[in-house]
Structure formats: structure tokens, C-alpha cells
Structure 1
Amino acid sequence: MPAKLDALEYQPQNFRDLADTELGKEIWAYLKEYDNQIRMETATLLERAAVEPLAAGLIAEFGEDISDDRVKQMIGHMVRQVMFALGFEPERSALRITRPSLFTSGTTYRLVGSDPRTMKITREQREAWVKNTKNSAFNVWLNKQVRDENGDLLLERLYAVAKKYGIEKRYDKLNPGQQRMNIGVQLRKLVDPKEYEAKA
């Protein structure tokens, strides 16, 4: 990760309740990863919303419950701060995202002092940007344990899995999707990858 983002701290403002959770901290760290900076910059060169190419990776990393509206709003707020740190400023807000995506709209950015319409991108860059990823082996493994046959999240199962790995903290004040993501963030650190990669 570029050194200039190592010490970048998120200023949560109205999102402090989520930002202070394990989930919020992990999302912030994820958005600052070098590969995701490249995705956001490439989207900017394509005159697309910076959040758009992050969708597949966010789902793979945190599960489909990342589609919670408030979590998505926090992600947009975080992305704005990352883009500022990278030297970009907002160009258009609430740009509609027409391709199927986690996000329905987002902000486009431009490099301060430059005209993005004059920038050239390669075919390889475009293909890398549109490439989709599948859900991670970890999320497949966890979902099989905490969702019923209809795909509905069962919180009693979620907390049973959490307890099995020594996680006692509860997140009852958050909605079910946010609870699942916070538990998932902690489980990812505790569960040996051999447990879920072999079953993927």
C-alpha cells in the first residue's frame, strides 16, 4: 500500500456507530489496499463511479449482506476520503450505475488539475476492471452453516458458530446483515483456511 495511506484515518462523522465495529475497521482497511486503489483510479479513468468496480470484491470479502443500505452509504463516504487522499476531487455525484452492481449510484472523480477525458486506458486495464470474482470459499463455508434452504440468515446459528470459535460478543443493536458481517470479519481471522478451502 502506498505509504501516504498507511496513516490515513477514517473520519466517520454520521457513521461512527458502524465505523467503530470490527466490520467498519475491516472495510476501511480493505478500501485502502493497493489493488482497490487501482480499481478506483481505473474506474475514474473510465468516467465511472469509483465504488462500481469494488462491488464484486466487497461481496467476496464480506458476503452478500454488504448490500445493507447503511453499510453501502458508509462505503461511499469512505471511498470519498480515500479518493481525496489519492489526489482526486468529486466531479459528479449520484451518477446512476446501469450495470448490475452492489451500488445503484456513486460519485465520479477527477484528478485535481487534469481533464480525465484526455487520459488513455489500455484494453488490459478495461478488462481488469470489468472482471468479476466469485464469492470466497470462506463465505460459502459460513453461509452453509448460518442460512436456511431459502437463503435466510438465522442469527441463532450465526452466534452458535461464533461461540464455537470463542467469539462471545453480540451485535444485537445492529441489523441481521450487519451482525453477520461483524461476526464474519472475526471468524475470518480465527478459522484455519484449511477448514473452508477444502469444502469449497
Structure 2
Amino acid sequence: MSNDLGELRYVPQNFRDLAETELGKELWSFLKHRDNLIRMETATLLDRAAVEPLAAGLVAEFGEEVSDDRVKQMIGHMVRQVMAAMGYETDRSALRITRPSLFTSGTTYRPAGSGPREAMKITKEQRDAWIKNTKNSAFNTWLNKQVRDENGVLLLEQLYAVARKHGIEKRYDNLNPGQQRMNIGVQLRKLVDPKEYESIV
């Protein structure tokens, strides 16, 4: 049974700028959700990277921009603190993840105080196909139709126009485009009636 980590606070260190955005706060809450704690513990028992089973949920919840390298690094940093709070320590770092996934590598964990334990490659094409097939949640499809051109390029001014339409005035120009999309997406998901996007899929 996973611990209740509701009160656990993230110590961001080098990720403070991202951690203090809506995206950072929502990612931290996502990782502490009981179902995700169980996924991480199960992966650990199977000697797999703790982040591996989180990939599909992350893409569905936050969009394909969650594949941004710095965001993934912060997720790994967050997972390390969550696992430590549940009584685990690092086993192996940068373990190659061979199944199609958001992550190319991740850290495995072992119960604190237990001794060490061995590893398995996936092509960029397989990973891209996995993201393409996983990202099409109703919400992401609805938003992407409004903020991307016919080539799939993110149009930031259209993103902010959708945000303003739903009462979001804050801008994130200090972040890269993918991180801006995720922060706006996090807020829109709370504000937009699901009926508005569930009918389009």
C-alpha cells in the first residue's frame, strides 16, 4: 500500500522557475496521486524505471509538449523525492527504457538499505509513433485544433487568444513554447466544460 504523500513538499533546487508555474504544481500533484504512486511502486518491484508507467498518463493529461527535455528532467527529479518519501533509494540511473515511451531512460529504485541488482533500445520513430497515438485525448485534440497550423506548428498568439477567451490573462513568455502550451493547457482543463471537447472525438 502506497503512503499518503499529500503533505509532501517538492524541493525544486535547479527547477524552481518551472516548479513555481501552474504546470509544475500540477505535475507534482499528478505524481502524488495514489494511482501513480502504485504505478511507480509496481514498476520498482518489476525492476523497471519508476517513470516508465507514468508516460501515457502524462501525455494524456498535459499534452505531447510534456516531452520537453527540461520538463522530463524535472519529472525525474520529482519522482526521486517521491520515491525517497516512500522509503526507496536509487538503484540504477539512466536505465534505458526499451518499450515505446515518453522517456528514453529513467532511474530504478530499491527499498532503502537493500543491496544493488541488470538492463535492456527503442528507436526515435517508435517513440514518436507512441506519442502520436497517446496524445490524442479529447482535450488535447480540441485545443490543438485551435492553436496549431496545418503542419502542427504551435501558434502562440492563438494559444493566448484561447486563454483570454476563457479568462486567463497571464503570459509565460519566459518559458519555451511547449512549456507555455502546457501551463495554459493546465488552466484551461480546469475551466473548460468537458462537454465542449468530448463531443469532437
Indicate whether the TM-score tops 0.5. Answer: yes
* 1:184 alignment partner AA: G
CA RMSD of aligned residues (A): 1.9
3-state SS of paired residue (2:190): helix
Deviation at 1:149, TM superposition (A): 1.3
Say whether the 8 Å CA contact 2:173–2:180 is kept in structure 1. Answer: yes
Q: Could you tell me how far 1:133 is from its partner in structure 2? A: 5.8
Q: Tell me how far apart the structure 1 counterparts of residues 41 and 134 of structure 2 sit (CA, whole Å).
A: 19
Tell me if structure 2 keeps the 8 A contact 1:45–1:116.
no
Match of 2:176 in 1: 175
What's the CA shift for 1:28?
0.3
Cα deviation digits, residues 128-151 of structure 1 (max 9, x gap): xxxx96632111111111111111
Aligned counterpart, 2:162 = 161
Counterpart of 2:110 in structure 1 is: 110
SS in structure 2 at match of 1:6:
coil
TM superposition shift of 1:77: 0.1
Distance 1:81 1:65, change over 3 A: same
Q: Given that residues 61 and 135 in structure 1 are in contact (C-alpha distance below 8 angstroms), is that contact kept between their aligned partners in structure 2?
A: no
> How far apart are residue 96 of structure 1 and its match?
1.0
Q: Distance in 2 between matches of 1:194 and 1:52?
A: 31
The equivalent residue for 1:126 is none
How far apart in 2 are the matches of 1:64 and 1:11? Answer: 25
- Residue identity opposite 2:32 in structure 1: K
Is 1:198–2:199 an aligned residue pair?
yes
CA 1:134–1:163: 2 relative to 1, 3 Å: closer
Question: What is the deviation of 1:26?
Answer: 0.2
**How many residue pairs are counted as aligned between the two chains?**
186
Query: Take 2:43 and 2:161, find their aligned partners in 1: how far apart are those partners?
Result: 40
Q: Which amino acid aligns with 1:140?
A: T
Any idea what SS the aligned residue of 1:5 has? Answer: coil
**Shift of residue 87, structure 1, vs aligned partner:** 1.0
Q: Does 1:79 align with 2:76?
A: no
What is the TM-score of this pair, normalised by structure 2?
0.87
Question: What is the CA-CA distance between 1:112 and the residue it aligns to?
Answer: 2.1
The percent identity for this pair of structures is 81
How far apart are residue 114 of structure 1 and its match?
Answer: 4.7
CA offsets per residue over residues 144-179 of structure 1, 9 Å max, x none?
111111111111110110010011110011000000
Shift, 1:50, TM fit:
0.5
Contact 1:44 1:50 in 2 (8 A): yes
Does 2:158 match 1:149? no
Which structure has more relative contact order (CA 8 Å, sep 6+)? It is 1
- Give 1:96's aligned residue: 96
8 Å contact 2:2–2:37 — kept in the other structure? Answer: no
Distance in 1 of aligned mates of 2:87 and 2:152: 41
Q: Equivalences for 1:108-147 in 2 at 5 Å?
A: 108-114=108-114, 135-147=136-148
